[in-house]
Amino acid sequence: MKHFYKFFIIIPVLLLLFASSCKKNKSHKTASQQDTVAQDTLFTNPYKTTVLKFKNKTFGVPSPILVSKITKSLNIPFDPTLLNDYQNYSKYLTTFKKAVNLGVYSANLAYINIYDQSSLFGDYYQVIKKLGQDLNLTSNISEDLLNRIEKNMENKDSLMYIVSTLFRDIDIYLTNNDLQETGALIIAGGWVESLYMLTQLYQKNPSDELLIKIGEQKAPLNNLLQLLQPYYNQGNPEIDHLFESLANISSYYDAINFEYSYENPEDYPKDHFTIIHSKTKVNIDNLDLEKITKRISTLRNWIVN
Amino acid sequence: MEMKKIYFFIILSILFITGIQKGYSQLDSLEKSCASLIKYPFISDGQDYRALVLNGETAEFYYTFYGGAVYRIVACSSINGKPPVFRIYDSNRKLLFSSEYYNNPKYWDFKFTSTIEGIIEAELPPTDAPSGIIILLIGFK
């Protein structure tokens, strides 16, 4: 009977130890994360032990959908040779390759959808679904959401809305389950593919607008490096290579000149709407562009092969 | 007496486990109510921005807003369904928008005429709670 009694003391204690060990695992990482974890332990989080928080700073990377919307708005024609062949899927054996190529294919899917290439949509969606299953992501996503995608294959606008919701649900699942590393790799793959597409499209369709969009990737790249930094130098050579390659590209971006000027915003309270008039001017020369184009192409080829 | 202690620890264990479960389901319902405000024609950017903050502390979200796009920022907190206070600054820390001026709405739409690097700062609404969760969702069209 005494053992039985001890059992019930042990349950809460074990649960507490388990929760604290989850935090301990995180503290093996970078100094900045150690600081954060130390701060986190000052109080009890009633929800999760795995809230995304790096010294209270979170970094966002623009969706690949926006990049495709921009190229479409510039009347640049669809180029199927830019896509990563969906049959490459079987080459991706490590978690790193699966996650980063899930990001690549998601950028491809956005490109296909924005340009209304519905004949390609099915193959790319199936590859994304398979990679999601391999990474054990889609089994945790609502079956209803997946069914809605399959039912709306012909409806471009609904499809983009549902697919972006799917990616947000995946991101929430990854955050809730302390798998932010996988989430960061998916985002990295999507960003690399977007910049690869922009630079390749510029070779065939040069325009000032496209050049500026390439230059504007400087801040998202810095945010991406911040997002990946906690996983750098933690024993995964693939992540280290990705991080170092991105840092190398970032060094070329340092040469690009940005001029920012503040303008008063206009608020429309009744419509819950504000127009931000501040401006950024980007000056990028051909030599910098050439270096960025070459490096992003090398990195992208390493990711997809 | 021995049996009373056993019951006490059974109840303690159940309360502990249900407390965790409640936390999980509260966060799930918070996510859902926040996500319901990103409606078509706005499309989610596919990311979930969260921070666990102490009362009085601020969380920062670094984000690039593309020129020509219209963004919807939805802000939610775990404090009694009240939205957090959120502000947008440019890269020089010049204030572009503060939700305080408009009674802390749950969402606000922004049109950017040029691409800018923004910082979204958020803090818990007035509360006695020592800490809480802030969720930001971003949609665009």
pLDDT in tens, B28-58: 788 888 999 998 899 998 888 888 899 989 9
Best CA proximity match to A171, nearest among A264, A83, A52: A52
What integer best gives the mean pLDDT of chain A? Answer: 81
Does a structural domain hold residue B118? yes
Q: d(Cα A301, Cα A285) in Å, to the nearest integer?
A: 24
Work out the pLDDT band at A177, boundaries 50, 70, 90: confident
Supply the range of the domain harboring residue B114. Answer: 32-140
Domain definitions of chain A by residue range: 1-58, 65-304
Residue A11 pLDDT exceeds 70: no
* Position B72 in a domain: yes
Q: Quick one: pLDDT at residue A19?
A: 40
Higher pLDDT: A252 or A174? It is A252
Within its chain, how far is the Cα of A292 from the centroid? 20
The whole-angstrom distance between A90's CA and the closest CA on chain B is 25
**Does B94 map to a domain?**
yes
Mutual orientation of helices B2-35 and A156-176 as an angle, nearest 10°?
Answer: 150
Which amino acid is it at A231? Y
Sign of CA dihedral A34, A40, A42, A48: negative
- Chain A, 265 to 284: residues with Cβ < 8 Å from chain B are 265, 267, 269, 271-280
* Residue at B51 is within a domain: yes
Residue B127 is assigned to a structural domain of this protein: yes
| Length, in residues, of chain B | 141
- Global confidence as pTM: 0.79
User: CATH number, domain at B128?
Assistant: 2.60.120.380
Distance from chain centroid for Cα A241? 17
Percent of chain B with pLDDT over 90: 62
Residue B8 has a pLDDT of 60
Over residues A28-56, the mean pLDDT reads 38
pLDDT category of residue A1 using cuts at 50, 70 and 90: very low
Asked if the model's pLDDT at residue A132 lies above 50, the reply is: yes
Residue B119 lies inside a defined structural domain of this protein: yes
Task: Return residues 11-50 of B near A (CB < 8 Å).
Answer: 12-13, 16-17, 19-20, 23-24, 26-27, 31, 35, 40-41, 43-50
The answer to whether A104 touches A189, Cβ cutoff 8 Å, is yes
Residues 77-116, chain A, touching B (beta carbon < 8 A): 106
Return the pLDDT at A13: 45
A9 has a pLDDT exceeding 70: no
Residue B56 lies in a domain: yes
Model confidence at A14: pLDDT above 70: no
Cis bond upstream, residue B41 (ω within 30) = yes
Is the confidence at residue B68, as pLDDT, over 50?
yes
Domain count, chain B: 1
Q: Concatenated DSSP letters for B40-77?
A: TTSEE-S--EEEEEETT-EEEEEEEEPTT-EEEEEEEE
pLDDT tier at B25, thresholds 50, 70, 90: low
Interchain contact, B19 vs A223, CB within 8 Å? no
What residue in B sits closest to A190 (Cα-Cα)? Answer: B46
E strands, A120-271, are 257-261, 266-268
Q: Is the Cβ of A152 closer than 8 Å to some Cβ of chain B?
A: no
- E strand intervals along chain B: 43-44, 49-54, 58-65, 70-77, 85-89, 95-98, 107-112, 116-123, 131-140
Average pLDDT, integer, range A146-169: 78
**Residue A62 sits at the chain B interface (C-beta within 8 Å):** yes
Touching A: B residues 79-98, CB under 8 Å: 88, 90-92, 94, 96-97
**Chain A residue with minimum CA distance to B65:** A62
